[in-house]
Amino acid sequence: MILSSDNNDALNRVIAHENSSSRRIGLLENKMKKLEDVGVLIARILMPVLFITAGWGKISGYAGTQQYMEAMGVPGFLLPLTILLEFGGGLAILLGFLTRTTALFTAGFTLLTALIFHSNFAEGVNSLMFMKNLTIAGGFLLLALTGPGAFSLDRLLNKKW
């Protein structure tokens, strides 16, 4: 089949447009790659805020938190472990220390919390809280897989946990 000059020009314009689009996408990906470590740092600052705050609340309201846990069927002696995961784990994520391991444990803790405290969907807010916990766990799982980024104690100490 022989293409006319008009068809050939049209084909060349399509190819040029595709090449231009590919270049733009490539440039965007390069810019995003350069911002990746900054983005991971921002995520590491935002993600643990809830956990650090909740952990501090459990420390300052220890007796009430222990009673609430026991009322939900969770033994009160697990409260120190809960505080360690929330407050200590939150600080570790914030600083990028033992990031992969801490993020993995925090993801598991968040899923377990969703199942224990938010699985009664008859109460309207529990459905939302359950979904919130799933979302948070997904973020921590992603952090466990990607690591802490360049701006972290793990990187400073050259750790791969």
State the average pLDDT over residues 125-153.
96
Question: Between residues 78 and 29, which one has the greater pLDDT?
Answer: 78
Q: What's the chain's average pLDDT?
A: 89
State the average pLDDT over residues 41-67.
97
Residue 32 banded pLDDT, cuts 50, 70, 90: confident
Task: Give the percent of the chain with pLDDT over 90.
Answer: 72
| Predicted local confidence at residue 4, as pLDDT | 59
| Predicted local confidence at residue 121, as pLDDT | 87
- Give 60-89 pLDDT, tens digit per residue: 999 999 999 999 999 999 999 999 999 999
Question: Between residues 98 and 15, which one has the greater pLDDT?
Answer: 98
The token duo for 2 is 């022989």
Spell out the alpha helix ranges (H) of the chain. 5-46, 49-60, 62-71, 79-83, 89-95, 99-117, 124-146, 153-157
Give the torsion sign (CA, 103, 106, 112, 118): negative
- pLDDT above 60 (res 2): no
Give the torsion sign (CA, 41, 47, 50, 54): negative
- pLDDT above 90 (res 9): no
Domain ranges of the chain: 37-157
